[in-house]
Amino acid sequence: MRNNQKHDFSNQEAEPAIELGDIARRIGDTYSDGVGVNHVDGDNLPRRSEVVAITGKLLEVVFPGFDNRPQSRRDTVGKDVAELLKEIYSELFDQICRAIRYSCKKEVVCQCGVMKRTNRAVFALLNALPEIRETMKADVAAAYAGDPAATSYDEIILSYPGIKAITIQRFAHVLYASGTPLIPRMMTEHAHSLTGIDIHPGAKLGKGVFIDHGTGVVIGETAVIGDNVRIYQGVTLGAGNFPKDACGMLIKGNKRHPTIGSNVTIYSGASVLGDITIGDNSVIGGNVWLTESLPRGTKITARPPEHRMKFSGERS
């Protein structure tokens, strides 16, 4: 027998509306102090999605034909790159302008000259692209020479996370050096999320740097890495301690990360900490914990675990 009784949902619908309104009011109260995770007043922040898109276009300039854009021909690549640079200039100008305006709002005394600063930063990066491209050729060659599993330069560019992380860090470092706020870190954290390799935009990298496998590599802000350095997974080039001022706040901007000489190899799991110097042609073994400088040509390894043979009949 069909039940023809009609249900009245009006009361049920009213109660959720009231409850949702109360939740919205309570969430709104958390915004009112102007502190924390919201940015609802003032100039707009840079957009993460657009910074990521710009980063992809910069990668296409350095490695044309390896990503989403239609493949260029040798006789048209110059024209294609010129069009791409116009896009990058326009989009990057907007995002850097946003970042600088936001930064100026935080300064008590500000003579920003937003447009001039923005233009200078954009052209600093665009002018650096030819040199970055030449440097990345050395990085790719180092990866090919250092990895017996590598079959071609193309394979390395297409698939090696270390190459992507280093390339993006080189873009970000130019902007960091030009004083651009926010965007350099947005770029390197995007690379971090893609590759598991965390290189601060302030770190200075030489030529022919090869990060093999890469997962878990951390390179701090004031680290300096020489030429032809090979780094394996899980390596940390970090700070040994974090000095504080008289008010107990961390002191920022001081040199607190290692300087790695040229032709150095650092094997997996090693932690090199503090403002120390590792001399040229040194080798740091896996899982080494190092807080003191090393002269050139040093080879250091962690003490291997001791194993004791167990004979039949011996009690455990």
Q: Is residue 96 part of a domain?
A: yes
Question: What residue numbers bound the domain in which 146 lies?
Answer: 42-196
Question: What is the rounded CA–CA span in Å between residue 35 and residue 99?
Answer: 18
pLDDT digits (tens, 9 = 90+) for 250-306: 888 899 999 999 999 999 999 999 999 999 999 999 999 999 999 999 999 997 767
Same domain? For 180 and 224 the reply is no
| Residue 311 placed within a domain | no
Query: Under a CB-based contact definition with an 8 Å cutoff, are residues 84 and 60 in contact?
Result: yes
Phi-psi group of 36: left, alpha or beta (phi > 0 → left; psi -120 to 50 → alpha; rest → beta): left
Q: Are residues 232 and 192 in the same domain?
A: no
Number of domains the chain contains: 2
Q: Looking at residue 109, what is its pLDDT?
A: 44
150 within domain boundaries: yes
Are residues 234 and 107 part of one domain? no
Do 181 and 244 lie in one domain? The reply is no
pTM reported for the whole predicted model: 0.86
Residues 47 and 188 in one domain: yes
Angle in degrees, CA 86, 92, 96, rounded to 5: 150
Who contacts 282 (Cβ-Cβ below 8 Å, separation ≥6)? 261, 264, 265, 294, 296, 297, 298, 299, 300
Q: Is residue 257 part of a domain?
A: yes
pLDDT averaged per 10 residues in sequence order, the chain, 316 residues: 54 75 88 66 83 97 81 74 95 95 68 87 98 98 97 96 98 98 98 98 98 97 98 96 80 92 98 98 97 98 73 56
- Are 155 and 261 contained in the same domain? no
In a domain, 246, yes or no: yes
Domain boundary among the residues 128, 162, 196 is at 196
In a domain, 208, yes or no: no
User: CATH no. for residue 96?
Assistant: 1.10.3130.10
